[in-house]
Chain A
């Protein structure tokens, strides 16, 4: 859409963007460094017409040791969306809050704080959102292994010791079936040989 195409030169001239990716007609992504993200966000809100905050997402690139925060804005005509992305460190780096500009940011930042452990400076109430009395690592971080957590903290109910591994059992049954079919074929061959003899 023309809005995004015409935004690209304006934005890249004014700010030092690392990348501007026009994904579709109605979606573009701008990757910046953390230190200028507030300025870019202000520009987008005041002058480019991206007045709605749709969501804040976070992706955990654990192998590159960063969190990538994505702020997704919608244009006031609702014809296109823009993703503003920047990376922060995985341990304790805090981000300034957006609750002064958009009231919906309060819930979204609470959610991210609970799930990833990101601290938002200036947030009025970083209480728990969906979990209750959770004292372990924030669950959506990649190092939190749900299977290991379950095995450590819960006991399996008695009565399931005969449970078998499905793949191994299927293999064993297939081998059995094959052996039986082979034995029958050989028996038939012998019988046929006997008949032919008579």
Chain B
């Protein structure tokens, strides 16, 4: 994408792959004339770990242990998608209790990922208080995860067939207290971040997404909802317990960075509300935590293909899985929302913006390089 300026009048800068202003490890090659960007090209490849090939040599249970590492800020969505795909192929139905606990874990992960986004977005405009606070508050969520699953970041808890262990004693009470604490903290974040005059001045009117391209190009998540489209996988094609829970989809019309920030702020509030409902529902659910599944080398997947998707903190994440009758998975493809946002959308949005806005726009689109190149 080049404008009329010739190459001789531009300087080339690589924004990344090691840069305090990017959300992970990817680089954007920029051609600048002064501070305005004439051309942008995304380069990934610094985080390629080859998950899709690794999975081919492993049985289903062995593959389960590596799947959560595909997306770093929010690992539980990978586990859920993997488990849902395997259950779809093998014909396993999970119990209501397992579904409720899975929903709770996913919502906690969503709040954690959104707080991490808040830190990144604030740091990209120079407000360094917010990332420090966010890490401190997110740590409380990670403490709860450690109590529940044994691991702070990578949980390996959502297993094909259910979840791996029962809730510890007093867990739901601690979760309820955490929700209270987070709600009080979010009011402070409102004052320092969302109502901050410098953030509003930097973010309003910047990074506006063209509304006509949104649905055909497959933008999802807050990009979609910040442009006025009321879609969310949890409401359109509900999974787990979402059709029983009561929540709203926040939508704004402007399509700029500030609109997406407000959408995310509202989503944090909705997630806290969902957690409170789950705290009341879970004690009354029935069923086994784990269904009986065949042992490790006897767990064979039939020769079928499937596609499952869910709503992550950044957008729509989908898994394609194909089994071939043996105990190994024939093919698993991970498609995260960032694959589209980092290429088709980012390269368009950056042309004509300023260098100072690159970090802000990248944070606002929720680009997570690990899931682009898995």
Chain A residues near B344 (CB, 8 Å)?
Answer: 103-104, 106-107
Min CB distance, A84 to chain B, in Å? 12
Cα–Cα, bound, A23→B89 (Å): 10
A52 contact from B215, B320, B335, B343, Cβ within 8 A: B215
A72 to B316, CA, bound (A): 14
Report yes or no: A52 in contact with B216, Cβ–Cβ below 8 A: yes
Of the candidate stretches B14-22, B42-50, B166-174, the one touching chain A is B42-50
**In the bound complex, do residue A83 and residue B44 qualify as a contact, i.e. CB atoms below 8 Å apart?**
no
Question: B residues within 8 A CB of A55?
Answer: 318, 320, 333, 335, 339
Q: Is the pair B305, A104 in contact by a Cβ cutoff of 8 Å?
A: no
For B357, list chain A residues within 8 Å (CB).
none
Q: How far is the CB of A97 from chain B (nearest CB, A)?
A: 14
A77: CB under 8 A from chain B? yes
Given known A70-B320, A108-B339, contact A83–B53 (CB-CB < 8 A):
no
15 contacts between A and B (CB under 8 A): A25-B237, A29-B305, A55-B335, A55-B339, A59-B322, A60-B331, A76-B215, A79-B236, A79-B237, A83-B307, A107-B339, A130-B44, A131-B45, A132-B45, A146-B50
A130 close to B236 (CB less than 8 A): no
CA separation between A72 and B309, bound complex, in Å?
12
Residues of B contacting A24 in the complex (Cβ-Cβ under 8 angstroms): 88
Residue A78 lies at the interface, judged by CB distance under 8 Å to chain B: yes
B→A interface (CB under 8 Å): 44-45, 48, 50, 52-54, 56-57, 88, 215-218, 231, 233, 236-237, 305-307, 309, 316, 318, 320, 322, 324, 330-331, 333, 335, 339-340, 343-344, 373
Interface status of A53 (Cβ within 8 A of chain B): yes
A53 to B320, CA, bound (A): 14
Is the pair A51, B330 in contact by a Cβ cutoff of 8 Å? no
Residues of B contacting A15 with CB < 8 Å? none
Give bound CA distance, A53 to B335, whole Å. Answer: 12
Dominant SS among interface residues on chain A: mixed
Residue of A nearest to B341 (CB): A104
Query: Do the beta carbons of B53 and A72 come within 8 Å of each other?
Result: no
Shortest CB-to-CB span from A139 to chain B, Å, is 6
Q: In the bound complex, do residue A59 and residue B330 qualify as a contact, i.e. CB atoms below 8 Å apart? A: yes
State whether A78 touches B331 (Cβ < 8 A): no
A-side contacts of B318, CB under 8 Å: 54-55, 72
Residues of A within 8 A of B233 (CB): 78
CB-CB contacts below 8 Å: A47-67 with B: 51-55, 57-61
Q: How far is the CB of B92 from chain A (nearest CB, A)?
A: 14
Q: Are A52 and B218 in contact (CB under 8 A)?
A: yes
When A and B form their complex, which 9 residue pairs have the shortest distance between CB atoms, in order from nearest?
Answer: A130-B48, A55-B335, A130-B373, A59-B331, A103-B344, A130-B45, A107-B343, A57-B333, A26-B237
Question: Which residues does chain A contribute within 8 Å of B306, judged by CB atoms?
Answer: 23, 27
A25 to chain B, nearest CB (A): 8
- A77: which of B52, B236, B333 is its contact (CB, 8 Å)? B236
- Smallest beta-carbon distance B199→chain A, Å: 30
**B45 engages A104 (CB within 8 Å):** no
Judged by a CB distance under 8 angstroms, whether A30 is at the interface is: no
Encoded as 1 (CB less than 8 Å from any B CB) or 0, chain A from 95 to 114 comes to: 00000001110111000000
Interface presence of A140 (CB below 8 A): yes
A41 within 8 A of B: no
Asked if A74 is an interface residue, CB under 8 A from chain B, the answer is yes
* Residues in B neighbouring A104, C-beta threshold 8 A: 217-218, 339-340, 343-344
How far apart sit A23 and B241, CA to CA, in the bound complex (Å)?
A: 21
Q: Is the CB of A78 within 8 A of B335?
A: no
